[in-house]
Structure 1
Amino acid sequence: MDYSIVQLASNSKFVAKSAQGSTLDGLNTHFACIDELHAHKTREVYDVVETSIGKRLQPLLFAITTAGFNLSGICYELRNYVIEVLSGKSAGGDDQFGIIYSIDKEDEWTSDSALIKANPNWGVSVHPETIKSLRDKALTVASAVNNFKTKHLDVWCNADAAWMDLTKWNECADPSLEESDFYGRESWLGLDLASKIDLTAAVRLFPKTINGVQHFFVFPQVWLPRDTVNSAKNASYCGWEYEARLKVTEGSVVDFEEVKEYVRRSCSDFVVKEIAYDPWQATQLASELTDQGCPMVEVRNSVQNFSEPMKTIEALVMSGRLHPIFNWCVSNVVCHRDAKDNIYPNKLRNENKIDLVVALIMAFYSFLIGGGKIEKPVDLTPMLDSPLIFNW
């Protein structure tokens, strides 16, 4: 049902329209208001609406928005035009009005004065206690910084940003952990099979209650073919092989028989509830392991599947309840945040490896969806304003 405000005498109406630009052709607009322009993935809606005011004598087009992440979109383009108008650099602009509340480059974004400068309704509709609380979380959670800056300081940022606070991650890490301490315990396993000439990663995840508080312990396994180790730009591979942090299979491709043996041994040594895998590279391997009684579960590599477990992982690290024995890959992960505050792992360069992080996320997805329960739930609020990082 469509709702509208109608003025019968002039047969005029004020109505919400679809965000699909293809449905807006034929409009004859007198006044239009486009909210949160930064979230528009294309310029289609703005262009159609702007065109539709051409038949009016005194039309008005409003665009209201916070800053965002898309530096090549219509919103950032319009912002730059407004700046040119306000600075007198544009030859035209007499029919344009714009106002931007933000901070200056020299301002310290964490200061109270910066918050007041960027929020003109400070203390009226903008509540200082709430904004300061979100600022404090951004100071603690690295991935919350960019979202805080865009939403509350109107600073344009790149959506791909640091995910994990590496200081907190390293504080949680415990290299002395031994998997033998967990024999016979319930576990969840994430398996990320890359191409056979690249990194293949697995992560075992063990929940354990300590002094009434649930903690999670993480153990990795990584495989690379010998030819890749010898030719790779990453000079650390040889050292990691010596330290038994990297399993090298002879030849030019990863020997998936060794991967299958690892999975079978896991099912023998531990009570493996589920083994999460991405079907893109692992269909045949998963089919063989399923026939052998391994509890394989398909987890597609998608924003929908990865966002919640990523936020859960970050929250557990911040509360000191996730204990890895590695940091390789963690600093290589950046996350992209979409308009719905979903996050997803990415990497800045192809040579940056994030496979262990992906395997960890898949293990947590399996835990959360497959019957596992986070006791004393962690507060995910800090992660609602976040982006991402990881390094192996």
Structure 2
Amino acid sequence: MGLRGPGAKPKGKGGILSPKLRETLPWEAEGLSRVERVIAFLEDLPVTAGKMAGTKMIVRDWQREFLEAVYREDEHGNRPVRTAVLSMARKNGKTGIAAGLALCHLAGPEAEPRGECYAAANDRFQAGKMFAEMVAIIGQHPELDARCNIIRFRKEIEVLEGQGKGSIFAALSSDATTKLGLSPSFTVVDELGYAPKRDLYDALDSAMGARDNPLLVAISTQAPDDNHVFSTLIDYGLKVQAGEVDDPSFHLTLYTAPETDDPMDRETWLKANPALGDFRSEEDVARQAAQAERIPSKMQDFRNKILNQRVAAHVRFIAKAEWEACGGEFDIEVLKGRPCFGGLDLSAARDLTAWVLVFPMDDGTIHVLPRFFLPENGIMEKSEADRVPYDVWAQMGHITLIPGSTIDPGFVAEQMAEDAAQFDIQAVAYDRWRIEDLRRELDRIGAAMELVPHGQGFKDMSPAVDTLERAVAEAKLRHGGNPVLTMCAANAVITKDAAGARKLDKAKAAGRIDGLVALAMAQSIAARHEPEELPACLLAA
């Protein structure tokens, strides 16, 4: 079945045991459009596993819609789409369609001479699954079997004759030693939403420039957080769909259940599982739903993997929808000279430092002006370790990079002094960590401001958490969509003591929460300075 080594000659046709090969294949029929050729190819492939093994693939209507969008042609006969994103819940046939499309570009109607086709995955095992599926399909398809040579130990397939002659397929994983020198004509990235880093995707995406009509297909369940590369692709695709961005080279098909829908309702399941009741077991989804309803710790995972919602494994302190509702923009110029209050969360020498100002406005809203600091050295490694684009945020001006490998409190003090010259800072709440170093720097540059210690335990943080939570729930905050502060809000979790008091817990958080801690302290100190309401009898007098 083509399991030979490099440079093998085409296998001989004919003989008693050799199947008779068809002279005309379904996708070679006259009068077919481009997408019809792709569908004809896919529907000629065997199903190799599961309850439908032994039959041929049937392209469902929802799959056809995706294919028609991706393989449509412009007036010049070219395929405009270069990047296609397909996101749906698990077990809806992602691997099958991905393997079929890889074969279509390797040896089918989309093949080109000496093409390079790749399947990229997060690890060697996952990359091997795609390769194994393709090998199984080839082994049960005589015409493909006669033309393809399989090199198992390298997880490669080469086309020896016919359409796509000289083309190769290779399975890649994120731990591959190098991705340099590739020139992909087709790439499928499997489960990109769970990639630990974005470097494999970026390398394959940037390598497509050497081809005239390349295509990259990313297929995955949603990533758990907004900053993941797959989340950024989905968000970009939604902007394209909404007409906010004009980019005919990008297509998104997203099957997801809105977070406001009842997770126990079958109609909710259908929105994320287009194959439900077909080859996606409804009984299995119902079983997992029942477990999630009985076991709260399973609900987040159910929402992510079965409902394809962008939901982290931890329970957020602030709901995503509520935080986004507070993302209103504002003009910094209107804040100049206004009374405000600060929160300062100084970090360890190499971590994120947050300096946040809050401005109580006349209309009852609270404008938030956050500042963040990180050491410049090792910023790329820090971005990879925390899986967020600190380097990009620094370029956008959301983070100040301090020269060297550690946080110099002098830079933070200078920013505080600069802000004090523009705004009327009434008081600054601070965590006692490293505060003496900062005091010394503020004294050195002559920046006088009232510094108020703010404990991080239940006694001091519980009222701060309550104040912040109420401001968000009532949509009074205006944080301007700052991505670093948004990351901190998404990571934040709280813990309670026996009396029900609450605090933000850095140890249990999913990532950095320094910005939200600083915001909570600023809100807390601002609340202490709010004028008390006079009794009605005094007002009447």
Q: Name the TM-score, length of structure 1 as normaliser.
A: 0.51
Cα distance in 2 between the residues matched to 1:169 and 1:162: 11
Cα distance in 2 between the residues matched to 1:240 and 1:373: 38
CA contact (8 A) 1:188 1:274 kept: yes
Match of 1:119 in 2: none
Change (3 A) 1:287 1:250: closer
- Structure 2 residue 483 is matched with structure 1 residue 328: no
Cα distance in 2 between the residues matched to 1:216 and 1:293: 24
Where structure 2 has 5 or more consecutive residues not aligned to the other structure, the ranges are: 1-261, 265-298, 300-313, 534-541
Where structure 1 has 5 or more consecutive residues not aligned to the other structure, the ranges are: 1-107, 111-144, 146-159, 376-392
Structural mapping, 1:198-213, within 5 Å: 198-210=351-363
Cα distance in 2 between the residues matched to 1:374 and 1:316: 18
Match of 1:303 in 2: 458
Structural mapping, 1:1-392, within 5 Å: 161-174=315-328, 176-210=329-363, 214-232=364-382, 233=384, 234-289=387-442, 292-325=447-480, 326=482, 327-347=486-506, 352-369=511-528, 371-373=529-531
Residue by residue over 1:284-328, the C-alpha shift from the partner in whole angstroms, topping out at 9 and shown as x without a partner, is 312442663222112122211111121111111111111112212
Structure 1 residue 219, shift from structure 2 partner = 1.1
Structure 1 residue 188, shift from structure 2 partner = 0.2
Looking at CA atoms only, which structure, 1 or 2, has the larger radius of gyration? 2
Cα distance in 2 between the residues matched to 1:199 and 1:374: 36
Cα distance in 2 between the residues matched to 1:366 and 1:228: 34
Change (3 A) 1:374 1:187: farther
Cα distance in 1 between the residues matched to 2:362 and 2:532: 11
Cα distance in 1 between the residues matched to 2:381 and 2:521: 29
Cα distance in 2 between the residues matched to 1:163 and 1:235: 20
Structure 1 residue 357, shift from structure 2 partner = 0.6
Structure 1 residue 255, shift from structure 2 partner = 2.5
Cα distance in 2 between the residues matched to 1:348 and 1:293: 33
Overall identity of the aligned pairs, in %: 25
Change (3 A) 1:202 1:374: farther
What is the RMSD of the two structures over their aligned residues, measured on CA atoms? Answer: 2.7
Change (3 A) 1:280 1:339: same
CA contact (8 A) 1:367 1:373 kept: no
Change (3 A) 1:241 1:165: same
The 3-state SS of whatever aligns with 1:172 is: coil
Structure 1 residue 257, shift from structure 2 partner = 1.6
The 3-state SS of whatever aligns with 2:401 is: strand
Cα distance in 1 between the residues matched to 2:374 and 2:439: 19
Change (3 A) 1:351 1:312: closer
Amino acid at match of 2:325: E
Match of 2:251 in 1: none
Residue by residue over 1:181-212, the C-alpha shift from the partner in whole angstroms, topping out at 9 and shown as x without a partner, is 200000001011011211111101000122xx
Match of 1:131 in 2: none
Q: Return the structure number with greater relative CO, CA threshold 8 A, min gap 6.
A: 1
CA contact (8 A) 2:467 2:520 kept: no
Match of 1:46 in 2: none
The 3-state SS of whatever aligns with 2:356 is: strand
Residue by residue over 1:308-364, the C-alpha shift from the partner in whole angstroms, topping out at 9 and shown as x without a partner, is 121111111111111112212111011012221111112466771000011001111
Change (3 A) 1:301 1:260: same
Amino acid at match of 1:267: A
Change (3 A) 1:109 1:250: closer
Amino acid at match of 1:173: G
Amino acid at match of 1:337: K
